[in-house]
Amino acid sequence: MSTSWPALSHLVHRFGHDTPPLDSAPAGWEPGGNTPLPKQIAMLNVAIAGSGISGLAAAISLRRSGHKVTIYERSSLNNEVGAAIHVPPNVGRFLVPWGMDPVKARLVECKYMSFHNPFTLEEVIKHDHSNDPEMFGAPLRMAHRVDLHEALKQLATDPNGPGIPAQIFVRSEVIAYDPEKPSMTLADGTVVEADLIIAADGVHSIAAKAITGQPMVPQPAQTNNCCYRFLIPTELLRNSPDTKWFLEGHPNDGTRIFSDIPGRRRIVTYPCRNKEFMNFVAICYNEKMSAKEEDWHASVDNSEVLEQFAGFHEGLCAVISKATEVKRWPLLFRPPIAKWWKAKMAAIGDAAHPMLPHMAQGGAQGIEDGCAIGLVMYGVTDPSQIPQRLAVYQKVRYNRASFIQIASNYGFDDHVQSELANYLEDRTMPKSVTDMVHGNYTYDVVKKVITVMRADVDPNYELPPDFYAAAKSAAAANSNANGHANGNANGHANGNAH
């Protein structure tokens, strides 16, 4: 169930000092939280713009590093937009030790990805993912976006979690940033000051301009500029004569891709929410597609999707015809910008590196950003150290996310490899989809932070004591099922990063 917070209606002169707690703040909650910090470590007041996936991940990591977090969200938070999302092993390895319960969140483990001819339905190739837990420390999972968002929000605001619960103010749109002060201005005139400002307000964020001094407006993709998203109840497909083929004799525990490469069209589908729904992502080129923000998440009739995918197998068209709520997105991208931070402000997620969905890593990269920015702020003894720590954040994250950003936007064919080479760092140039997936999944953001922090800041840097402490409400069964992930994360992170 979604939790609603009141809108921010008062002027905030100094965040963390004049800001009263939310009406729905937990009973008995006091500044200082559940996990007291050593006296030599400063508690930073952190203001985050945006309570999407990356903003919530940052809030979770920052509270576990001992800081006070307030999030300002432009929407009412009644409904998280989107349909479903992949949760790959590179973030599952720390989300579960954080306390996210995949069972409670109704995530589905992905056992394979298969590619099909969209005109004949013939399976062309199949990639096995059933061994991902053994290979990468966590499975590839498929989530309803609302379920993942709720799980992250719970971890960020749960009074039973480590540190101080994050607070969220809704209907609080950020319209200006000042990295030097640092502060951000809301649409109602409120000026929010903090020790650290984090922009997590998405692809249309003005954060890049505030950081670089130049407008950095994402552009429509040249080949696939349009995306339709919709969910269809699994039982509806199973019980309809013209669509029951879609699930007959099928375990429904993988991702299927129906791709028309010459026509620049493809449909990606997978189950979510305990297999109660099938998620569909239909990507194509639409000459009428607008990149205007007012057309973002526009509702359209399924007839528009059927028109765009005319000629696909009649069985697939029958499936599309069952969709009753279809949202249309413009697919926007931007080349990597030179810098993600300035003074005491940083950008994360789509605000820093918007990317096309072709690698299924966009959300995961935002989660990695959030994890990293909390960890680099651990041990800060004075706000004057923030710029040094933000430089570490960029060093940890920039090449990793930029590599995936370019590969997502342009692919990794020969003509792109010279650009990708600029961001290789400690990975090798992929020669196949399998190579790319392996590089994406094996990256360990926690280990990377520790390595860079020990090299550049403190040779004795360790993780916050409660960084992997699961919230008390997390299911014990989940902890047992994922014990190896928790143990591996703690073991290599604190002991084996050199």
Examine the residue annotation and report whether 378 is marked as an active-site residue of this protein. no
Cα separation, 117 vs 339, in Å, equals 41
Examine the residue annotation and report whether 285 is marked as an active-site residue of this protein. no
- Which helix (DSSP H) or strand (DSSP E) does residue 51 occupy? none
Sheet holding 174-178, edge to edge: 174-178, 183-186, 191-193
Residue 96 near residue 483, CB atoms below 8 Å: no
CA 54 to chain CA centroid, Å, is 5
Cα separation, 307 vs 288, in Å, equals 13
Dihedral sign of CA atoms 459, 464, 467, 468 in order: positive
Cα separation, 263 vs 309, in Å, equals 9
Give the pair of three-digit tokens for residue 315.
């069985």
Residue of 270, 393, 423, 461 marked active site = 270
Distances 265 to 231, 299, 314 between C-alpha atoms, Å? 19, 20, 16
Cα separation, 190 vs 311, in Å, equals 53
Dihedral sign of CA atoms 272, 278, 284, 290 in order: negative
| DSSP result, 469-493 | PPPTTS-HHHHHHTHHHHHHHHHHH
Residue of 64, 145, 229, 265 marked active site = 229
Report helix angle 53-64 to 362-376, nearest 10.
20
User: Can you list the pairs that 379-383 forms with residues at least 24 positions away whose Cβ atoms lie under 8 Å?
Assistant: 379/41, 379/458, 379/461, 380/41, 380/42, 380/44, 381/40, 381/41, 381/42, 382/42, 383/42, 383/44, 383/195, 383/196, 383/344
Residue 279's nearest CA partner among 252, 317, 260, 301 is: 252
Catalytically annotated residues: 229, 270
